[in-house]
C-alpha cells in the first residue's frame, strides 16, 4: 500500500472573529466516544466524504478555477463540517456576495440534521436551496500529517475564515458536546491549567494564530504553508514529539515519554 493510501483526507476550519479581548476562534469539544481526539478542544472539521469530490460541485463554487479537484473537495468538506458540527455556514444565495443571513440559516437547519444522519450531500444542498459555497473565502492556514507511529493517520488541511456576522455557532451534541468562542491564548492557558485537553497540532496552530492581532492580519498571512509531519526524538530515557524547524511554529519539543 502506498503512503498516500495510508492517509485519510481531512479538513479543519478555524472560524475567527474580532472580539473585545482580540482575535477569537470558535472551538468545539469532541465527544468522549469519538475514536480520535476524544474529549479534546478542537476546531470543527472531519474526513472528506466521497461526495465532496463530485465534479458538479464546481458549478456552485464561484472563483474556484484556481483550485485543483482535490483542493476544492477539501474546501467543500470544511464548509460541510462547520455547518454540520456548529451551524455556521460559509455559503451565499446564488449570485450574491454576502453570506446567508441568520434568518435564512434557520430555514436550512433541517439540512444540518440530514448531514449528521449521512442523508445529504453538498451537491443536493446547493441544488435544492439555490446556494453557492464560499470556497474563495477560506484561507489556507496549515497542513499537517499524522505521525508514522499512529494507527489512524490523517492528511489534514487547516483553513481560516472570518465568521459570518450573525451566525451564532452551536455544537451539534453528537460529534461535539460543547462549544466556545475564546482567544487562542486563553485556549492554551486553559490547557496549561489542566481545565481543557488540547492535542499537539491544535496547540501549535493556536500558538501561530495567537501571533495575529486581528482577523484581517490572520487572513493576510495565510498561504506559504509548509507540510508538517511530527516525528519522535529520543533523548536518553525521554521521548519528545518534534516537527521540522522550517514549518513556522518555532522549535517545539513536547515530552511524550508517558504517552501521546
- In this prediction, residue 30 carries a pLDDT of 65
Q: How confident is the prediction along the chain (260 residues), in pLDDT tens digits per residue?
A: 344 458 999 999 999 999 999 999 999 886 444 444 446 899 999 999 999 999 999 999 999 999 999 999 999 999 999 999 889 999 999 999 999 999 999 999 999 999 989 999 999 999 999 999 999 999 999 999 998 877 889 999 999 999 998 887 665 545 545 788 999 999 999 999 998 889 999 999 999 999 999 999 999 999 889 999 999 999 889 999 999 888 889 989 888 887 65
Rounded CA-CA distance 115/111 in Å is: 6
List beta partners, residue 253: 242
For position 6, what pLDDT does the model report? 82
Domain residue extents for the chain:
3-217, 230-260
- In the Cβ-directed half-sphere of 200, how many Cα atoms lie within 13 Å? 22
Q: State residue 259's pLDDT score.
A: 67
CA angle 246, 15, 62 (to 5 degrees): 95
Please give the pLDDT value at position 173.
Answer: 47
User: What CATH topology corresponds to 3-217?
Assistant: Nucleoside Triphosphate Pyrophosphohydrolase (3.90.79)
The pLDDT of residue 5: 52
CA distance 120 to 72: 18
All three cell numbers of 10: 481531512
CA dihedral of residues 192, 225, 4, 258 (deg, nearest 10): -20
Spatial distance between the Cα atoms of 2 and 63, rounded to a whole number of angstroms = 33
pLDDT of residue 151: 80
For residue 39, what pLDDT is reported? 65
Amino acid at each position: 500500500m502506498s503512503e498516500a493510501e495510508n492517509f485519510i483526507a481531512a479538513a479543519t476550519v478555524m472560524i475567527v472573529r474580532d472580539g473585545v479581548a482580540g482575535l477569537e476562534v470558535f472551538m468545539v469539544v469532541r465527544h468522549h466516544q469519538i475514536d480520535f481526539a476524544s474529549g479534546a478542544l478542537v476546531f470543527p472539521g472531519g474526513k472528506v466524504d466521497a461526495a465532496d469530490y463530485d465534479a458538479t460541485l464546481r458549478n456552485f463554487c464561484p472563483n474556484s478555477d484556481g483550485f485543483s479537484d482535490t483542493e476544492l473537495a477539501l474546501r467543500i468538506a470544511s464548509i460541510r463540517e462547520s455547518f454540520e458540527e456548529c451551524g455556521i455556514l460559509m455559503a451565499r444565495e446564488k449570485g450574491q456576495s454576502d453570506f446567508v443571513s441568520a434568518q435564512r440559516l434557520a430555514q436550512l437547519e433541517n439540512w444540518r440534521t440530514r448531514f449528521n444522519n449521512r442523508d445529504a450531500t453538498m451537491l443536493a444542498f446547493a441544488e435544492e436551496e439555490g446556494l453557492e459555497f464560499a470556497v474563495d473565502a477560506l484561507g489556507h492556514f496549515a497542513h499537517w500529517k499524522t505521525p508514522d507511529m499512529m494507527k489512524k493517520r490523517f492528511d489534514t488541511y487547516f483553513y481560516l475564515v472570518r465568521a459570518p456576522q450573525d451566525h451564532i455557532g452551536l455544537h451539534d451534541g453528537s460529534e461535539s458536546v460543547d462549544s466556545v468562542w475564546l482567544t487562542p491564548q486563553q485556549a492554551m492557558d486553559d490547557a496549561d491549567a489542566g481545565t481543557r485537553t488540547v492535542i499537539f497540532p491544535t496547540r501549535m496552530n493556536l500558538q501561530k494564530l495567537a501571533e495575529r492581532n486581528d482577523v484581517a492580519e490572520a487572513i493576510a498571512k495565510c498561504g506559504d504553508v509548509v507540510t508538517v509531519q511530527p516525528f519522535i526524538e529520543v533523548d536518553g530515557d525521554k521521548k519528545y514529539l518534534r516537527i521540522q524547524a522550517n514549518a513556522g511554529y518555532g522549535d517545539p519539543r513536547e515530552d511524550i515519554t508517558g504517552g501521546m
